Amino acid sequence: MRYLLPRGLCIFLVLGVLQCGDEVPKPVTDVAKPDVPTADTEVDAPDLEPPTNTAPMAVIDEPADGAVFSVDEPILFTGQVSDAEDAAETLNVAWSSNLAGAFGPIEANEQGVTSFETSTLVSGIHTVTLKVTDSAGESGSDVIEIEIAPRSVSELVIRPRSVFSARKKHSTTDKG
């Protein structure tokens, strides 16, 4: 190892020897280390921006969009939710109808399946929404419309009322 010193500059070596002149030992730098950057090596700085959060996904599997049911008929609602960053069972799941309001609370399982059954929907056209929200506040949703038809006349059951009348039997006797 040798260092080059400017002419006339002297240094005192660790061994106690004073050396002057043009040449002083310097470290060997001609052996390249391939994975170690040096001061004159350009290095790309890592991207320091925080990762972006993607919105979760929601899909209503059942019932089909446009399905028609009768009042008081049991209806099974099933859907799938997923998110790139959060586990399915930790997502906030909300089912709702524009006519019936919120259903629930209803959660998703580890596979992202969410379901419930109801037979209490009133007649009319229901816009049913499955909305899912992740831990970062991003949300996704799916929407279907189903019709709940009123009972038809043929479905109505008319039961006659039992009417009991208590009549006193009046007997008149002619005595006379």
What are the structural domain ranges in the chain? 1-28, 57-151
Q: How far apart are CA 41 and CA 8, in angstroms?
A: 33
Closest CA to 148 of 99, 77, 94, 79: 99
- Say if strands 18-20 and 10-12 run parallel, antiparallel, or are unpaired: antiparallel
Q: What CATH number was assigned to the domain covering residues 57-151?
A: 2.60.40.10
DSSP 44-56: PPP--SPPPPPPP
Structural contact between residues 22 and 8, judged by C-beta atoms closer than 8 angstroms = no
The pLDDT of residue 171? 46
The pLDDT of residue 51? 75
Average pLDDT along the chain, 176 residues, taken 10 residues at a time: 56 53 55 58 65 93 97 97 96 97 94 97 97 97 97 61 52 49
Please state the pTM of the whole predicted model: 0.60
Q: 3-state DSSP call for residue 88?
A: helix
Residue 13 burial (C-beta neighbours within 10 Å; 0-12, 13-18, 19+) = exposed
Q: How far apart are CA 68 and CA 110, in angstroms?
A: 31
Cβ neighbours, 10 Å, residue 149: 14
